[in-house]
Amino acid sequence: MPEFFRTESGKKLVTFIPGDGIGAEVTGAARRIIEATGAAIAWEDREAGASVFKKGLPSGVPQDTIDSIKKTKVALKGPLETPIGFGEKSANVTLRKLFETYANIRPVRTLPGVPTPFANKNIDLVVVRENVEDLYAGIEYMQTPGVAEALKLISRKGCEKIVRLGFEFARSEGRTKVHCATKSNIMKMTEGTLKRTFEAVAKEYPEIEAQHIIVDNCAHQLVRFPEWFEVIIMTNMNGDILSDLTSGLIGGLGFAPSANLGTDYAIFEAVHGSAPKYAGKNVINPTAVIFAAVMMLRRLGEFEAAGAIENSIIYTLEQGKFRTRDIVGDAGSCSTTAYTDAIIANLGKKPSKAFVRDYKPIQMPDVPTAPDFVKVQERKVAGADVYVEWTGTVDALGQALEAAASGSPFKLHMVSSRGTKLYPGGSAITDTVDAFTGRFVKGDGSDTSDAELLDLLARVGAKARWAHVEKLNVFDGVLGYTKAQGED
């Protein structure tokens, strides 16, 4: 755990970013409640989001906000609007990446007094989502005018960090079961890396039951038997989608908190956005960000205040006198302020069912920082996939690429399109697009030099416009590329 910055009076300093839309109302509620507990917390107010974009800063995050988080190592933030269509990056994503908060923790549990179709289930689970890699890095290209590509980059090191954190998180909360949900049956390398890492790391946590589950089945089981799950580790996009599903199970976005954790830095927020139509109306449910503040207090070691707030929220919901409009509709609902006041008034009270766990400080994983996390003894480039644009027939492309390779050390192994082999031999696919891949392999099985590859590209380029190249790596005898559907 990092050393937290303390003020002269010994309070731990937190960077406070109210955020956009309903942000000020929900973060303000959380701040008032924390102050009412008497926890030794002080605030450093900073800006990010819409107000900053409006001043012309395209990142949406000013330097003094970055400097503040660097100092405090902890931020409580409201939702930040992402401007649509101006080319600006999301200020949220900028913050997560800047501070390498590689884990996104999203807990949900059945709450008393919150009617949902699942209210009779004892849901108490946490999605541990990888937060910086995967398709959400947003690395995209147009290969041809009509064919788009996104790169799903998953590192063994990133998987090691998120899996270890998932187990450490389970341990800190006294959990007994951890799932890892992946699509490794289809994406054997990217999603498969998370699965293999999970299976390897699980052996170091023998007291915790570890189970892999295919992510689509996980979605299905989450709706049928949500009470089975305790901690679910997932890659970024799967975790984003399924954590919205889990929020829905327990009453919606008004109750779904989120912690972005890194080795040194942590940013706490609600899962929901700025809900602009409710801004300034004093009707929004602040519970999600208050639960996020509870997680923040635990990160700061303020376990007593965290437990008191958690108990008070549940007690208040259980009593049912003060509930916001998202729970009970407009009639009979209370304002954000009245709900917050009730939680403050109920500090020290306990709900009928024990709620607060015996939390221990989380041990952040100590994963080596060397970039070459996986080392190999032997490596070879067996050839290359060259992606080309082509509007003629597949047979004509196959013959053109064979002619291009003639006289070079390569031979054309096949032509595929969107992952399915089309040449030689054809396929059942009749409707093709204008993006194809020629797979070239070294005829004698030796390593490919860059000079040979560049010569191949020049040869291919004389026949068809090429867009993208991938080396066919073989690491320690294991193929570092997949076969196309129908390829031998």
Closest CA to 236 of 382, 128, 157, 311: 128
Tell me the two tokens of residue 276. Answer: 């602009």
Among 59, 184, 285, 437, binds ligand NAP (CB under 6 A): 285
Q: Tell me how far, at minimum, the Cβ of 287 lies from ligand NAP, in Å.
A: 8
Q: Which residue has the tokens 């996939």?
A: 385
Q: Which of residues 18 and 254 has its CB atom nearest to ligand NAP in the complex?
A: 254
Q: Reduce the DSSP state of residue 407 to 3 states and report it.
A: coil
Under the binding rule (CB under 6 A), the answer on residue 82 touching ligand NAP is yes
Q: Which of residues 272 and 442 has its CB atom nearest to ligand NAP in the complex?
A: 272
What does the alpha-carbon distance between residue 386 and residue 437 come to, in Å, rounded to a whole number? 5
Closest CA to 275 of 328, 211, 324, 207: 324
Residue 55 DSSP class: T
Tell me the two tokens of residue 191. Answer: 């999603």
- Pick the stretch among 96-104, 145-153, 268-276, 365-373 that binds ligand NAP (CB under 6 A): 268-276
Residue 182 DSSP class: E
Q: Tell me how far, at minimum, the Cβ of 451 lies from ligand NAP, in Å.
A: 48
18-45: b or e for each residue (b if 16 or more CB lie within 10 Å)? Answer: bbbbbbebbbbbbbbbbebbebebbbbe
Q: How remote is the C-alpha of 191 from its chain's centroid?
A: 13
294-313: b or e for each residue (b if 16 or more CB lie within 10 Å)? Answer: bbbbbbbebeebbbbbbbbb
Residue 228 DSSP class: G
Under the binding rule (CB under 6 A), the answer on residue 273 touching ligand NAP is yes
Q: Which of residues 128 and 401 has its CB atom nearest to ligand NAP in the complex?
A: 128
Q: Tell me how far, at minimum, the Cβ of 273 lies from ligand NAP, in Å.
A: 2
Among 41, 233, 284, 441, binds ligand NAP (CB under 6 A): 284
Q: Tell me how far, at minimum, the Cβ of 324 lies from ligand NAP, in Å.
A: 7
Under the binding rule (CB under 6 A), the answer on residue 323 touching ligand NAP is no
Under the binding rule (CB under 6 A), the answer on residue 439 touching ligand NAP is no
Give the contact letters, 8-47, x = binds to ligand NAP (CB under 6 A), - = no: ------------------x---------------------
What does the alpha-carbon distance between residue 335 and residue 326 come to, in Å, rounded to a whole number? 11
Q: Which residue has the tokens 């509620």?
A: 29
477 burial (CB, 10 Å; 0-12 / 13-18 / 19+) is exposed
Binding-site size for ligand NAP (CB under 6 A) equals: 17
Q: How remote is the C-alpha of 303 from its chain's centroid?
A: 26
Under the binding rule (CB under 6 A), the answer on residue 254 touching ligand NAP is yes
Give the contact letters, 83-112, x = binds to ligand NAP (CB under 6 A), - = no: ---------x--------------------
Q: Which runs of consecutive H residues, i.e. helices, occur in 349-449? A: 394-405
Under the binding rule (CB under 6 A), the answer on residue 80 touching ligand NAP is yes
What does the alpha-carbon distance between residue 413 and residue 423 come to, in Å, rounded to a whole number? 9
Q: Tell me how far, at minimum, the Cβ of 269 lies from ligand NAP, in Å.
A: 5
- Output the residue with the shortest Cβ distance to ligand NAP: 273
Under the binding rule (CB under 6 A), the answer on residue 275 touching ligand NAP is yes
Among 44, 81, 310, 341, binds ligand NAP (CB under 6 A): 81
Q: Which of residues 79 and 166 has its CB atom nearest to ligand NAP in the complex?
A: 79
Tell me the two tokens of residue 295. Answer: 């997680």
Count of H helices and E strands in the chain?
A: 14, 18
93 burial (CB, 10 Å; 0-12 / 13-18 / 19+) is middle
Q: Tell me how far, at minimum, the Cβ of 349 lies from ligand NAP, in Å.
A: 23
**Position 72: which residue type?**
T
Under the binding rule (CB under 6 A), the answer on residue 326 touching ligand NAP is yes
Among 274, 312, 346, 448, binds ligand NAP (CB under 6 A): 274
Under the binding rule (CB under 6 A), the answer on residue 253 touching ligand NAP is yes
Q: Which residue has the tokens 């290969």?
A: 143
Q: Which of residues 209 and 244 has its CB atom nearest to ligand NAP in the complex?
A: 244
- Pick the stretch among 34-42, 74-82, 186-194, 227-235 that binds ligand NAP (CB under 6 A): 74-82
Under the binding rule (CB under 6 A), the answer on residue 48 touching ligand NAP is no
Among 36, 114, 288, 401, binds ligand NAP (CB under 6 A): 288
- Pick the stretch among 216-224, 267-275, 435-443, 468-476 that binds ligand NAP (CB under 6 A): 267-275
> Would you tell me which residues interact with ligand NAP (CB under 6 A)?
26, 79-82, 92, 253-254, 269, 272-275, 284-285, 288, 326
